[in-house]
Chains A and B, each alone.
Chain A
Amino acid sequence: DAKTTQPPSMDCAEGRAANLPCNHSTISGNEYVYWYRQIHSQGPQYIIHGLKNNETNEMASLIITEDRKSSTLILPHATLRDTAVYYCIVRARTGANSKLTFGKGITLSVRP
């Protein structure tokens, strides 16, 4: 079972920041927060991951709360091509919990 909860959908205007929330209240100390997205009819694409510090790369920023029970993925300037299902996943990097278990994700619709 997925260990995260996400709202089913959200939308944002093109050019604005998209803030995608995720709750993971049962996260263990050795588990990372990963974000993937899946554009329609394509394979999932890795976006970013973090353990406890905030992370930023060329695609997005990941903000993890101090208690690590929730996080937010930020797409700073959403474009129409960012319309996709976004999956928040918690996983360890070793052992049985290193599997990627996808939940239902959040469908982001970017409107012109």
Chain B
Amino acid sequence: DTEVTQTPKHLVMGMTNKKSLKCEQHMGHRAMYWYKQKAKKPPELMFVYSYEKLSINESVPSRFSPECPNSSLLNLHLHALQPEDSALYLCASSQVAGLAGVGEQFFGPGTRLTVL
């Protein structure tokens, strides 16, 4: 299985809602990532988990809360978002192999989020 899956594909939420995005991979990868991509812009890194521990937070507002419950799953909890948070949210995973370092990242199809 060489796939990263993301659910839901589309999500519409109000500014007072709480929702979660889910990402799953079964490639045995021990690094997982969240990216945000606004329309016509490149993806921007938000968070990195390595061995289920948060290793990088790119100064993301606290209304985005990541969680890595196990080595296959990555969640992004959303609360009190703003309309400008509307974007494509991408999950990725990669191998981490000691001295060989971090391998290439495999991306999921993304969740398209609209905040009303």
Question: A70-106 CB contact bits vs B (8 Å, 1 = yes)?
Answer: 0000000000000000010000111000111111110
CB <8 Å contact, B45 and A44:
no
Question: Which one of A34, A41, A104 lies within 8 Å of B42 (CB-CB)?
Answer: A104
Question: B92-116 CB contact bits vs A (8 Å, 1 = yes)?
Answer: 1000000111111111111000000
Q: Which residues of B contact A103 (CB under 8 A)?
A: 42
Query: With contacts A42-B109, A44-B107 known, is A94 near B101, CB below 8 A?
Result: yes
Q: Which residues of A contact B101 (CB under 8 A)?
A: 92-94, 98
CB <8 Å contact, A101 and B104:
no
How many residues of chain A are within 8 Å of chain B by beta carbon?
22
Question: Which one of B33, B99, B106, B109 lies within 8 Å of A46 (CB-CB)?
Answer: B106
Query: With contacts A93-B100, A99-B56 known, is A46 near B105, CB below 8 A?
Result: yes
A98: nearest residue on chain B (CB-CB)? B102
Q: Which residues of A contact B42 (CB under 8 A)?
A: 2, 87, 102-105
Question: B1-15 CB contact bits vs A (8 Å, 1 = yes)?
Answer: 000100000000000
Query: With contacts A42-B109, A43-B110, A44-B90 known, is A49 near B104, CB below 8 A?
Result: yes
Decide if A53 is an interface residue (CB 8 Å cutoff).
Answer: no
Q: Which residues of B contact A25 (CB under 8 A)?
A: none
CB <8 Å contact, B43 and A102:
yes
CB <8 Å contact, B107 and A43:
yes
Decide if B44 is an interface residue (CB 8 Å cutoff).
Answer: yes
A-B contact pairs, 11 of them (CB 8 A): A38-B43, A41-B88, A42-B109, A43-B92, A45-B107, A46-B105, A46-B106, A99-B45, A99-B48, A99-B56, A103-B42
